[in-house]
Amino acid sequence: MKIKKYRVCIIGTGYVGLVSGTCFAQIGHHVICVDNNKEKIENLQKGILPIYEPGLEKMILKNKRAGRLFFTTDIAEAVKKSEVVFIAVHTPTKENGETNLRYVEDVSKEVAKAMDKYKVVVSKSTMPVNTGQKIKEIITKFCPKGLTFDIVSNPEFLKEGSAIKDFLKPDRVVIGVESKKAEKIMRDIYKPISSPIIFTSIESAEIIKHACNAFLATKISFINAIACICEKNSANVKEVAVAMGLDKRIGPDFLKAGIGFGGSCFPKDVSAFINVAKKSGYDFNLLKEVKKINKKQREIFLDKIIKNVPALKGKNIAVWGLSFKPNTDDMREAPSIDIINELVLKGAVVKAFDPVATKKAKEVFKDKIIYCKNAQEALKNADALVILTEWENFKKITPEIIKKLMKSPNVFDGRNIFSPQKMARLGFNYYSIGKK
């Protein structure tokens, strides 16, 4: 397959920017990653990553060595050297649910000022519908007169923990375009990736991203609501989810009941999409309920602990897992934050272990909790074990060992990693999600 190699730059080295940049280099393009955080760039130049993502470090080193991947703080130079400019900066949510587009707007201005010939400017960050047009207006206003450019929306569907696979083997690539010229360039760039490419309008692409995340969050809240009903009726939500998932119209993914979704995307994108809907004159009550169920799921779990470990003050609570999901060190919107803060407030002594998130968790919990070297250490003398992230390694520790190390065999499993029957047989007081 003949592949045309492009010179691209990615502005923003967060999750999306760093993974996308590295993967574009991996498929043969010449990539410059840009960030205004000097320390981050200096570290990346030395091969030190700001995030934990399986396989990423190795891939960065490989592509750096091959002379395809570069890191800089100089946005103007990176833009000048590139045919395609990807914007992958943060789009945080304001207090009122609106998306803060300041970083996108600032970067668009800088890109415009640095432009010296035709470029394709692609938004990769999740942005509310019509942001593409805003970027177009800014670039038109600030770029040298007479220059032409195209804007594109190419949202990312990377899951933390499997981001590289999601980039290189996606279910589909979504590209919103306005011109045939940009469509051809984008098709060329993605040529080494053998997944279907869906070309749409820019506005559709923007909505697709929000709609996907909102739908997946809805699936999770739906199964969590079912879990509450299962608990009250001696049913088992795992059995219910398996049977539901075998219906092809429903599908098996994102039907794991637990303590709700966290992370940098779902909570933010659900709120942002509610706001997009409101601005479009539609009251998206369904999504408001999705948010409510998600919050409630943590409260229900906490109540179980409070009710079943009376007088929490001074009790030793072992916590397994701090990141919002396994295979990442990301603490953003992690359910562990609300749950642990509340346990600490009630006077519990929290002894926590996470395989990779401890460093980031220290920034959140400071010295409010004790950080353990391994899962077993957290269990010693514990009055209860609280499982908040389903790391694979936790599943390998047998209930027999758990019981031996703990003072009282109370297990609150927010991720359903053990068998309730086995735990009961071994004499545990085992509280999970969606099972009696």
Quote the least distance from Cβ 255 to ligand UDX, whole Å: 6
Given the residues 23, 230, 265, 372, the one annotated as active site? 265
Chain positions contacting ligand UDX, by CB under 6 A: 156-160, 213, 216, 220, 254-256, 258, 261-263, 265-266, 324-325
Q: CB under 8 Å to 433, separation ≥6 — which residues?
A: 224, 227, 231, 237, 257, 258, 259, 297, 301, 413, 414, 415, 416
**DSSP conformation letters of 104-136:** HHHHHHHHHHH--S-EEEEE-S---TTHHHHHH
Q: Which is nearer to ligand UDX, 8 or 16 (CB)?
A: 16
Quote the least distance from Cβ 3 to ligand UDX, whole Å: 26
Quote the least distance from Cβ 295 to ligand UDX, whole Å: 13
In the 8-state DSSP scheme, what is residue 93? Answer: B
Backbone angles phi, psi at 62, to 5 degrees: -60, -45
Q: CB under 8 Å to 205, separation ≥6 — which residues?
A: 132, 153, 154, 155, 174, 175, 176
And the tokens for 434?
């969606």
Backbone angles phi, psi at 338, to 5 degrees: -65, -45
Quote the least distance from Cβ 212 to ligand UDX, whole Å: 6
Contact present, 58 and 19 (Cβ < 8 Å): no
Q: Which is nearer to ligand UDX, 164 or 309 (CB)?
A: 164
9 is catalytic: no
Element (H, E) at 226: helix 202-232
CA–CA separation, 83 and 107 (whole Å): 16
Provide the pairing of β-strand 410-413 with 429-431: parallel
Q: Which is nearer to ligand UDX, 15 or 71 (CB)?
A: 15
Element (H, E) at 183: helix 180-189
CA–CA distances in Å: residue 81 to residues 76, 182, 322: 9, 18, 41
CA–CA distances in Å: residue 114 to residues 24, 77, 79, 377: 22, 8, 6, 54
Provide the pairing of β-strand 84-87 with 173-176: unpaired
Q: Which of 228, 290, 227, 236 is nearest to 257 (CA)?
A: 227
Q: Which is nearer to ligand UDX, 157 or 365 (CB)?
A: 157
Quote the least distance from Cβ 241 to ligand UDX, whole Å: 8
CA–CA separation, 422 and 66 (whole Å): 52
411 forms beta bridges with 385, 430
Q: Which is nearer to ligand UDX, 16 or 182 (CB)?
A: 16
Quote the least distance from Cβ 195 to ligand UDX, whole Å: 14
Q: Which is nearer to ligand UDX, 262 or 434 (CB)?
A: 262
Task: Give the three-state DSSP class for 372.
Answer: coil
Q: Which is nearer to ligand UDX, 115 or 265 (CB)?
A: 265
CA–CA separation, 164 and 94 (whole Å): 29
Quote the least distance from Cβ 409 to ligand UDX, whole Å: 26
Element (H, E) at 343: helix 335-345
Quote the least distance from Cβ 249 to ligand UDX, whole Å: 17
Q: Which is nearer to ligand UDX, 173 or 349 (CB)?
A: 173
Q: Which residues are catalytic?
A: 265
